[in-house]
């Protein structure tokens, strides 16, 4: 028996529920069960060939050494160009840092700025990692519920009410995981008007899904909508979702140089730098042909339309069409209190998700995202799998009494 005693920060957090749900689905499949896995948070597409090729070229050219802590000049120039095109803001290169995924960048930004129970406002439903990252860094997550009736979006009044003298950050994520909700320019301006009154509050804007957007034009960045706040906005993005590069592990952050310097100082003691090869590939992705994004977003849009139509035809559940990202956050209030054929009661969304798993579909309970009763389905899977999952969900719902 090992007498290992984890540090308090480990005890404060839980493993990512989405990773755990995906692992459970894989286990059941390995046991021979036919499970349609709708938990996956990564594109089902392969990384485009031209991007892979840039990685191969980097290996052959000997770009296989440590790079600057904050990323190569080529990558930071590519990021600066992309940010300028997307937000209109010209970030100097020392205001940009690259790391091993958007996840690592967010963690480092919180590690660099949060301690002693500083408060971090997190609108719910939220990406599962934010509260745990805040807790791991000795901060206090302040969860603000954003109901479906408000489009799952933070309202200015709710933001105002959540701010205290101890507030350090507001974390905004749009398009959102898990709802796909995205703020219009006017909605961002209204939030910015509140933030203008509270100069001690900084905003971490997680725009990792900004390319996966089903509306007209492009998803509006907070930096574009509220340029007067740029001195306290930390913008996070990456190549994982837009370019199907989850395994390459490159994300980036851009914001006030002193914060970026603090992130770099931590990074210098944690990983030294992100992978040199992945950086070359990410630079090629950002600078190169963007046709992959257009084609993949068209596929996600078709899948969304099919899934939303099928799900809304099922009694007991309903689903608002997401404006972006590749998830559906499905309301299952109409099923709570029902009984499964084997006699078990569906008392909450976790019960429903476990029942659904027995019926052959893996999903994630809304409780993991801070709002019940809902469940999240990923549509980063084929139309055939989506049709199959929706048919199984319909059957599972019809069998409840
Ligand atoms: N932010 C959100 C909202 C996400 O859903 C994810 C991944 O699931 C990330 C950030 C981090 O992505 P990565 O670390 O692959 O860049």
Q: Whose CA is nearest to atom 8 of ligand 1?
A: 41
| Cα separation, 39 vs 388, whole angstroms | 14
Instruction: Give 77's DSSP letter.
Output: H
Atom of ligand 1 at shortest distance to CA of 238? 16
End-to-end CA distance of the chain: 47
Give the pLDDT score at 16: 75
Atom of ligand 1 at shortest distance to CA of 173? 3
Structure tokens at 311: 């799900």
Last residue of a domain, one of 246, 262, 287: 287
Q: Are residues 151 and 230 in the same domain?
A: yes
Q: Are residues 153 and 302 in the same domain?
A: no
Give the pLDDT score at 232: 98
Pocket lining for ligand 1, CB < 6 angstroms: 41, 101-103, 127, 173, 177, 206, 208, 238, 240, 246, 251
Domain enclosing residue 33, as ranges: 8-46+292-398
Q: Are residues 239 and 318 in the same domain?
A: no
Q: Are residues 224 and 90 in the same domain?
A: yes
Q: Are residues 299 and 394 in the same domain?
A: yes
The domain that holds 297 is classified in CATH as 3.90.1150.10
Instruction: Give 213's DSSP letter.
Output: B
Please tell me the distance between residue 208's alpha carbon and the centre of ligand 1 in angstroms: 6
Atom of ligand 1 at shortest distance to CA of 100? 14
**Best probe residue, ligand 1, of 180, 208, 326 (max atoms within 8 Å of C-beta):** 208
Question: DSSP string covering 105-124, please?
Answer: HHHHHHHHH--TT-EEEEEE
Nearest to 338 by CA among 318, 352, 350: 352
Q: Are residues 261 and 371 in the same domain?
A: no
Q: Please count the structural domains in the chain.
A: 2
Q: Are residues 77 and 119 in the same domain?
A: yes
Q: Are residues 166 and 195 in the same domain?
A: yes
Give the pLDDT score at 1: 63
Q: Are residues 381 and 250 in the same domain?
A: no
| Cα separation, 130 vs 133, whole angstroms | 5
| Cα separation, 37 vs 282, whole angstroms | 28
Nearest to 253 by CA among 119, 396, 71, 131: 71
Last residue of a domain, one of 260, 287, 314: 287
**Best probe residue, ligand 1, of 238, 278, 368 (max atoms within 8 Å of C-beta):** 238
Please tell me the distance between residue 347's alpha carbon and the centre of ligand 1 in angstroms: 30
- Could you tell me if 183 and 155 are in contact, meaning their C-beta atoms sit under 8 angstroms apart? no
Give the pLDDT score at 119: 98
The domain that holds 108 is classified in CATH as 3.40.640.10
Q: Whose CA is nearest to atom 6 of ligand 1?
A: 103
Q: At what angle do helices 383-398 and 291-312 cross, to 10 degrees?
A: 20
Last residue of a domain, one of 287, 319, 338: 287
In a domain, residue 2? The reply is no
| Cα separation, 105 vs 115, whole angstroms | 17
Atom of ligand 1 at shortest distance to CA of 206? 1
Side-chain half-sphere of 82: how many Cα atoms within 13 Å? Answer: 29
- Could you tell me if 199 and 233 are in contact, meaning their C-beta atoms sit under 8 angstroms apart? no
In a domain, residue 14? The reply is yes
Give the pLDDT score at 386: 97
Q: Are residues 112 and 178 in the same domain?
A: yes
pLDDT (tens digit, 0 to 9) for every residue of the chain, 401 residues total?
678 999 999 998 987 777 777 777 888 888 888 999 999 889 999 999 999 999 999 999 999 999 999 999 999 999 999 999 999 999 999 999 999 999 999 999 999 999 999 999 999 999 999 999 999 999 999 999 999 999 999 999 999 999 999 999 999 999 999 999 999 999 999 999 999 999 999 999 999 999 999 998 899 999 999 999 999 999 999 999 999 999 999 999 999 999 999 999 999 999 999 999 999 999 999 999 999 999 999 999 999 999 999 999 999 999 999 999 999 999 999 999 999 999 999 999 999 999 999 999 999 999 999 999 999 999 999 999 999 999 999 999 999 99
Q: Are residues 244 and 302 in the same domain?
A: no
Q: Are residues 142 and 15 in the same domain?
A: no
């Amino acid at each position: 028996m090992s007498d290992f005693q984890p540090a308090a920060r480990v005890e404060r957090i839980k493993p990512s529920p989405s990773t755990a749900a995906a692992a459970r689905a894989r286990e059941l499949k390995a046991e021979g069960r036919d499970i349609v896995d709708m938990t996956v948070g990564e594109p089902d597409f392969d990384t485009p060939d031209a991007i892979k090729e840039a990685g191969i070229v980097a290996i052959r050219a000997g770009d296989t050494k440590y790079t600057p802590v904050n990323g190569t000049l080529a990558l930071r120039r590519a990021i600066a160009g992309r940010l300028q095109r997307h937000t209109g803001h010209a970030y100097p290169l020392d205001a940009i840092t690259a790391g091993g995924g958007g996840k690592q960048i967010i963690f480092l930004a919180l590690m660099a700025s949060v301690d002693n129970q500083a408060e971090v406002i997190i609108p719910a439903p939220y990406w599962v990692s934010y509260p745990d990252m805040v807790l791991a860094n000795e901060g206090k997550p302040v969860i603000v519920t954003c109901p479906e009736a408000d489009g799952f979006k933070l309202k200015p009044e709710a933001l105002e009410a959540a701010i205290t003298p101890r507030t350090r950050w507001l974390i905004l994520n749009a398009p959102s995981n898990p709802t796909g909700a995205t703020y219009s320019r006017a909605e961002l301006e209204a939030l910015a008007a509140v933030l203008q009154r509270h100069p001690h509050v900084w905003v971490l804007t997680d725009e990792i899904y900004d390319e996966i957007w089903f509306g007209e034009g492009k998803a509006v960045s907070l930096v574009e909508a509220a340029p007067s706040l740029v001195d306290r906005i930390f913008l996070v993005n990456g190549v994982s979702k837009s370019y199907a590069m989850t395994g390459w592990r490159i994300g980036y952050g851009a914001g006030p140089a002193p914060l970026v310097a603090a992130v770099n100082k931590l990074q210098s003691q944690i990983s030294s730098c992100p992978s040199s090869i992945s950086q070359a590939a990410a630079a090629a992705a950002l600078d190169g042909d963007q046709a992959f994004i257009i084609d993949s977003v068209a596929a996600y849009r078709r899948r969304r339309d099919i899934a939303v139509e099928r799900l809304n035809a099922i009694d007991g559940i309903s689903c608002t069409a997401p404006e972006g990202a590749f998830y559906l956050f499905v309301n299952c209030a109409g099923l709570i209190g029902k009984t499964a054929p084997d006699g078990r009661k569906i008392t909450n969304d976790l019960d429903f998700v476990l029942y659904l798993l027995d019926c052959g579909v893996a999903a994630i309970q809304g409780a993991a995202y801070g709002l019940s009763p809902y469940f999240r389905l990923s549509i980063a899977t084929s139309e055939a799998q989506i049709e199959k999952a929706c048919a199984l969900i319909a059957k599972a719902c019809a069998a409840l009494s």
